[in-house]
Chains A and B, each alone.
Chain A
Amino acid sequence: NAGVTQTPKFQVLKTGQSMTLQCAQDMNHEYMSWYRQDPGMGLRLIHYSVGAGITDQGEVPNGYNVSRSTTEDFPLRLLSAAPSQTSVYFCASSYGVVGGYEQFFGPGTRLTVL
């Protein structure tokens, strides 16, 4: 199993550009989520999904969109990039309540917005 994979590893955008961060998992996990990590802030939840077709907002959802058309994939879209979105983004997945709360994280995408 590859676990949780994220692409790209690094990305530089100009203000106003849009892009999609890809996340995929091959563990048949129902629960998937996106976090951003900023210095001194820990990891903050952006959006999450409890299954295909179901998504909800986390703590810092503004400026981001998600969709979950399959169990495996959970892309994160930046609609119009802003310098405040410069961060490291982590995707995570887990079985959910039934299987426990332990979430498996991808390696991260480091995004810089100029």
Chain B
Amino acid sequence: DQQVKQNSPSLSVQEGRISILNCDYTNSMFDYFLWYKKYPAEGPTFLISISSIKDKNEDGRFTVFLNKSAKHLSLHIVPSQPGDSAVYFCAASGGTNFGNEKLTFGTGTRLTIIP
């Protein structure tokens, strides 16, 4: 049972345009969400996160939106750059209690920025 879903395996976007990556979750106990970026032959690197008490978090070109009622979050990248070409993983964590730090990951979306 996939609790975190990324339904688009791949996405291609023109350089300079907006990239929008989507993620859906089913577990209502998740209260913290993260996006990771992964280049080939490297480990994932943390990009941006959002707590369930917020609906938006912004960091430079990256913005994450959270819609709790729809159990949906999205990552916006504006403007998209060639270096953004990577696989993006959505991840969720289920609570603020000690021991709940473990993450559940989605299957990833491969983003390709076209020059």
Contacts and interface: CB of A to CB of B under 8 A. Distances in A.
**Interface residue SS majority, chain B:** loop
B98 A101 contact: no
B25 interface: no
A50 B98 contact: yes
Interface hub of B4, B89, B100, B103 (most chain A Cβ within 10 A): B103
A33 B41 CA distance: 19
B34 A101 contact: yes
A34 to B, nearest CB: 11
Nearest to B36: A105
B46 A104 contact: yes
Nearest to A3: B43
Given A43-B89, A50-B98, A97-B96, A103 B106 contact: no
A102 B98 contact: no
**Interface residue SS majority, chain A:** strand
Q: Which of under 10, 10 to 19, 20 to 34, or 35 or more describes the interface residues of B?
A: 20 to 34
Interface string A34-63: 010000111111001010000010110000
A23 to B, nearest CB: 11
A33 B93 CA distance: 14
Interface string A62-93: 00000000000000000000000000001010
Contact of A42 (B34, B96, B105): B105
Contacts of B102: 33, 45, 48, 58
Interface hub of A42, A50, A59, A105 (most chain B Cβ within 10 A): A42
28 contacts: A4-B43, A31-B101, A40-B9, A42-B6, A42-B89, A42-B105, A42-B106, A42-B107, A43-B44, A43-B89, A43-B91, A48-B101, A48-B102, A50-B101, A90-B43, A92-B43, A94-B101, A101-B32, A101-B34, A101-B49, A101-B103, A102-B49, A103-B46, A103-B101, A105-B44, A105-B45, A107-B42, A107-B43
Question: 5 closest Cβ contacts across the A-B interface?
Answer: A105-B43, A42-B107, A43-B105, A42-B105, A102-B46
Interface of B: 4, 6, 9, 32, 34, 36, 41-46, 49, 89, 91, 93, 96-108
